[in-house]
Amino acid sequence: MPTHDQPDPLRIVVLQGSVRSERVGPAVADWAIEPLEVSEEFAVDVIDLAKVTLPDPTDLRPGGKGEPSEISPRLEAADAFMIITPEYNRGCPSTVKHAIDCHFLEWMFKPVLPVTYGVYGGLLAAEQLRSVFAELHAVTTRKAVGVAEPWSLLDQHGRLQPGPTAVRALRLGIRELSWWASALRHQRRTSPFVWQP
């Protein structure tokens, strides 16, 4: 849960999508989270999909009619999302897609910053997220952050040390995410969209 004690920070849920036993995902997540955590503007809640149990796929229901998952309240409380995902076979891992599919209202009218990685930066996974989140009334930022070959960018402590292009993309992506998060939070609070399935 968020640890921030500012009066009304933007609540950012960071979803770490790889669950492989030997994964580079946490190093990418640690790097991407750092600018959020040092800012007074944000309260950060990190969800590692390897550490949560989501509903069985046989229980999926469309349009938010399924039972709330154990992370539903945390997603519901979020003003914005950062999705940290590798590219598997030109898309997201099934773990990320399943986490998305298990929820519906939780994503609605909120912004999403894709932070992807892979041989070429995982941008095909980012493009898939754009299409998927459009169906969920969520807006992806124009900027996607792609880290190419992160496994070759780890220092002796296992910390990711990407080049200036990725660092700049992260800064710009967070700036966009913050703008959308403020704008959409205001609109959700003052003029909520009446969703009629």
**What residues line the site for ligand FMN (CB under 6 A)?**
18, 20, 23-25, 86-90, 118-120, 122, 151
Give the residue closest to ligand FMN by C-beta: 118
Rank residues 18 and 69 by Cβ distance to ligand FMN and give the closer one.
18
The 8-class DSSP code of residue 5 comes to: -
Report, in Å, the least distance between residue 46 CB and ligand FMN: 15
- Closest to ligand FMN by CB, 34 vs 176, is 34
- State the minimum distance, in angstroms, from the CB of residue 66 to ligand FMN: 26
**Which residues are bridge partners to 80 per DSSP?**
12
The residue ranges of DSSP E strands in the chain, in sequence order, are 10-16, 42-48, 80-86, 111-118, 139-140, 145-148
Q: Is the dihedral of CA 112, 99, 108, 183 positive or negative?
A: negative
Q: Which is nearer to ligand FMN, 87 or 101 (CB)?
A: 87
Q: Which is nearer to ligand FMN, 154 or 183 (CB)?
A: 154
Give the DSSP per-residue string, 16-49. E----SS-SHHHHHHHHHHHHHT-TTEEEEEEEG
User: Minimum CB separation from ligand FMN for residue 165, in Å?
Assistant: 17
- Residue 64 CB, shortest distance to ligand FMN, in Å, is 29
Shortest distance, position 95 Cβ to ligand FMN, whole Å: 9
Which residues sit opposite 112 in a β-bridge? 81, 140
Tokens representing 12 are 């950012």
CB atoms closer than 10 angstroms to residue 86: 22
Residue number with CB closer to ligand FMN (120 or 193): 120
